[in-house]
Chain A
Amino acid sequence: MSYKYYWEDFYPGQVRETGGYSLSEEEIIEFAKKYDPQPFHTDSEKAKQSYFGGLIASGWQTASLCMRMICDQYLLEAASMGSPGVDEVRWVKPVRPGDTLRLKSTVLETRASASRPDMGTVRSRSEVYNQHGELVMHMSGVGMFRRRSPGE
């Protein structure tokens, strides 16, 4: 199988932007009932009386939606070998039903693998903004990608 993006196609400073993802009240409640059933994520009435003043999405759903945006932005067309993990995940502002989110991805660093000549890693920062231009979430993560031309 041939991919559009291999490790060599990422470079520090590269920026991608994708937009237009919304979470409805139903989607927020459905996710939270399954994975994060705290009342401010599952019950609109209780949420109104909470610190947040209304229903908000689980931070885990925002992170999962960020992953979906990364997939749609470039990852599904890339020779991806997974990820060892993420750092600096910060939930900055609540996400509310009907908010429209967009993703800005910035490549921070790329590294050839010392042990495996067929792959390399890419560290990227993901920033999720709402429709008011407010940063709602950010994280930095490492992706592993196959090389188009294996190293020595």
Chain B
Amino acid sequence: MAVKYYWEDFTPGRVFETATRTLSEEDIVRFGREYDPQTYHTDAEVARSSPFGGLIASGWQTAAVGMRLMCDCYLLETSCVGSPGMDELRWTKPVRPGDTLRMRSTVIEAKPSGKQPNRGTVQFHWEIFNQNDELVLSIRGRQLFLRRAPA
């Protein structure tokens, strides 16, 4: 895929709004069984008497869906070479079967790499909303991008 966005294109304040993705009960249970088999992620019956009142998605699945939304929206057209990590990941509201999620990615800051002149990091605020515009997940994440013009 052709590179449309290099490190220089991520200017503070730039916002990307993704399309949406809906999570079915089957999606939730399949992920839960593999990666987060707490009963409120895998068993709709037992989940009814949990603190959440019903089946909810693993917070890690919600984050992974956000990553997919980001890829489909713009990330696959960038010079991204991975991520060093993230901070302040907060699961703010449960995600239930049938919820439709979308993500807003806002550039906070872009820094050239101290060690490698051909790349730089970008810090983002990633926010995932449900169909009622309620915030379900917030993250401060960083990604590495190759520069269009090395320093």
CB of A146, distance to nearest CB on chain B (Å)? 9
Inter-chain contact B67/A60, CB cutoff 8 Å: yes
Inter-chain contact A71/B88, CB cutoff 8 Å: no
Is B74 in contact with chain A by the CB < 8 A criterion?
no
Inter-chain contact B51/A81, CB cutoff 8 Å: yes
Is A87 in contact with chain B by the CB < 8 A criterion?
yes
Check A37/B71 contact, CB under 8 A, given A89-B86, A90-B84: yes
Inter-chain contact B35/A68, CB cutoff 8 Å: yes
CB of B106, distance to nearest CB on chain A (Å)? 18
CB of B71, distance to nearest CB on chain A (Å)? 5
Which residue in B68, B82, B87 is a CB contact (below 8 Å) of A91?
Answer: B82
Residue ID in chain A nearest B68 by CB atoms: A35
CB of B36, distance to nearest CB on chain A (Å)? 5
Residue ID in chain A nearest B146 by CB atoms: A51
Residue ID in chain A nearest B56 by CB atoms: A82
Main secondary structure of the interface of B (DSSP, over half): mixed
CB of B122, distance to nearest CB on chain A (Å)? 15
Contacts of B64 in A (CB 8 A): 31, 34-36, 58, 60-61, 64
Contacts of A80 in B (CB 8 A): 38
- How far, in whole Å, are A61 and B34 apart by their CA atoms in the complex? 11
Please count how many residues in chain A sit with their CB below 8 Å of the partner chain's CB atoms: 34
Main secondary structure of the interface of A (DSSP, over half): mixed
Inter-chain contact A89/B38, CB cutoff 8 Å: no
- How far, in whole Å, are A82 and B94 apart by their CA atoms in the complex? 10
Is A14 in contact with chain B by the CB < 8 A criterion?
no
Inter-chain contact A85/B83, CB cutoff 8 Å: no
Residue ID in chain A nearest B64 by CB atoms: A35
Residue ID in chain A nearest B52 by CB atoms: A82
Contacts of B19 in A (CB 8 A): none
Inter-chain contact A83/B86, CB cutoff 8 Å: no
Is B105 in contact with chain A by the CB < 8 A criterion?
no
CB of B91, distance to nearest CB on chain A (Å)? 6
Is B101 in contact with chain A by the CB < 8 A criterion?
no
Inter-chain contact B84/A60, CB cutoff 8 Å: no
Inter-chain contact B75/A88, CB cutoff 8 Å: no
Is B3 in contact with chain A by the CB < 8 A criterion?
no
Contacts of A67 in B (CB 8 A): 35-36, 58, 60
Inter-chain contact A89/B85, CB cutoff 8 Å: yes
Interface residues of B, Cβ cutoff 8 Å to A: 31, 34-38, 40, 51-52, 58-61, 63-65, 67-68, 71, 75-76, 80-91
Q: Write 29 A-B pairs (CB below 8 A) sorted by A numbering.
A: A34-B64, A34-B68, A35-B64, A35-B65, A35-B67, A36-B64, A36-B67, A36-B71, A37-B71, A38-B71, A58-B67, A60-B60, A60-B64, A60-B67, A64-B35, A64-B60, A67-B36, A67-B58, A68-B36, A71-B37, A71-B38, A76-B37, A83-B59, A84-B90, A85-B91, A87-B88, A89-B85, A90-B84, A90-B85
